[in-house]
């Protein structure tokens, strides 16, 4: 069995649903220019970190000297269980333990396996949202899916609820075939499902209107024009993912080691307004929600509370 096959088999044994190999060559200049233009039009809103290290984002060799290949993985998080329906809604991925820690721990085991199996000099860098890297672009290059009209990576069988990770390595491996076909066709369901029009029919994604951005990334007050649209969404929004036909047909997640907490959908906004910092940390210490401050969480809860009284 060749080393690439062994690595891919090990990744699946570690619980990933998809694994592929991509060249670490820079992403095409046209894609870089498109990203820069998107930034210049203000679509990144307050996410200033996206404007930094742009060259590194599209060139893995600037993150790891001598990079030759990227091993890209994906983990499905489509709930196998029905989440409880309460006064507030937390995005599906945040009903799990923090995926950063979960994926990194398994990628460390994959790297250890690589070093042991190769028995030679090899360097690796693990990436899970912690470095500037165009993860979706490289995952597409590795054959893990295509970039859909909702700007997410979509696998034709596993859908759009995928969490990504990668290993940049100096080991040169044969690359897999990218998924370049337009699988969306004439479908516009994600665009039609977006409550605020953040997904434009011209394929432009405007974070300034996105409920996920507004409830997670926005550090200031959320503009009042979006309060009604937020509805009962306390953290994030799944509309453009769940509207996708590929997601509807996708099987539920297989990895049951990825801990799921459906009770996070039972929160009452009026009670959140009385929480202490300790209350917040107790419930979300191992959750992606932890990235919010309690003040911003209460800000979101206040909007949900106001909407519940209408």
Query: Which residue, chain included where needed, has tokens 């049951």?
Result: 256
**Residue 240 structure tokens:** 């453009």
CB atoms within 10 A of CB 105: 12
Q: Do 114 and 173 form a contact (C-beta atoms < 8 A)?
A: no
> What is the Cα–Cα distance from 77 to 94, expressed in whole angstroms?
10
Q: Do 179 and 196 form a contact (C-beta atoms < 8 A)?
A: no
**Residue 235 structure tokens:** 């953290």
Q: Do 211 and 229 form a contact (C-beta atoms < 8 A)?
A: yes
Please provide the DSSP assignment of 14-52 as one string: TT-SEEEEEE-SPPPHHHHHHHHHHHHTTTTTT-GGGGS
Taking CA atoms, 222 is separated from 200, 215, 219, 265, 271, in Å, by 21, 8, 8, 22, 20
Q: Do 287 and 252 form a contact (C-beta atoms < 8 A)?
A: no
The residues, ordered by sequence, that sit 6+ positions from 154 with a Cβ below 8 Å of its Cβ are 145, 146, 147, 148, 160, 162, 183, 244, 246, 247
> What is the Cα–Cα distance from 201 to 300, expressed in whole angstroms?
28
Please provide the DSSP assignment of 167-214 as one string: EEESS--PPPPP--S--STT--HHHHH-SS--B-TTS-B-GGG-HHII
Whether 129 is a known active-site residue: answer yes
> What is the Cα–Cα distance from 176 to 17, expressed in whole angstroms?
16
Catalytic pick among 2, 92, 98, 129: 129
Active-site residue numbers?
129
């Amino acid at each position: 069995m060749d080393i690439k096959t062994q690595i891919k088999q090990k990744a699946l044994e570690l619980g990933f649903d998809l694994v592929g190999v991509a060249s670490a060559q820079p992403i095409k200049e046209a894609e870089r220019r498109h990203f820069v233009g998107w930034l210049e039009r203000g679509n990144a809103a307050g996410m200033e970190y996206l404007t930094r290290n742009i060259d590194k984002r599209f060139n893995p060799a600037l993150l790891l000297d001598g990079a030759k290949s990227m091993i890209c993985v994906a983990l499905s998080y489509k709930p196998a269980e029905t989440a409880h329906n309460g006064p507030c809604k937390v995005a599906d991925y945040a009903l799990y333990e923090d995926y950063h820690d979960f994926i990194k721990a398994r990628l460390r085991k994959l790297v250890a396996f690589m070093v042991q199996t190769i028995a030679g000099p090899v360097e690796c860098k693990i990436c899970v949202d912690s470095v500037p890297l165009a993860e979706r672009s490289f995952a597409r290059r590795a054959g893990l899916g295509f970039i859909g009209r909702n700007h997410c990576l979509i696998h034709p069988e596993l859908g759009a609820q995928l969490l990504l990770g990668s290993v940049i390595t100096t080991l040169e491996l044969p690359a897999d075939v990218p998924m370049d076909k337009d699988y969306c066709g004439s479908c516009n369901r994600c665009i039609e499902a977006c409550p605020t029009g953040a997904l434009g029919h011209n394929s432009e994604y405007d974070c300034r209107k996105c409920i996920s951005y507004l409830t997670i990334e926005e550090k200031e007050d959320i503009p009042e024009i979006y309060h009604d649209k937020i509805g009962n969404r306390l953290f994030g929004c799944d509309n453009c993912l769940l509207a996708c036909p590929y997601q509807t047909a996708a099987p539920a997640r297989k990895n049951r080691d990825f801990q799921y907490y459906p009770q996070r959908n039972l929160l009452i906004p009026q009670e959140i307004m009385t929480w202490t910092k300790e209350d917040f940390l107790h419930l979300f210490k191992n959750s992606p929600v932890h990235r919010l401050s309690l003040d911003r969480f209460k800000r979101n809860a206040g909007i949900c509370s106001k909407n519940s009284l209408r």
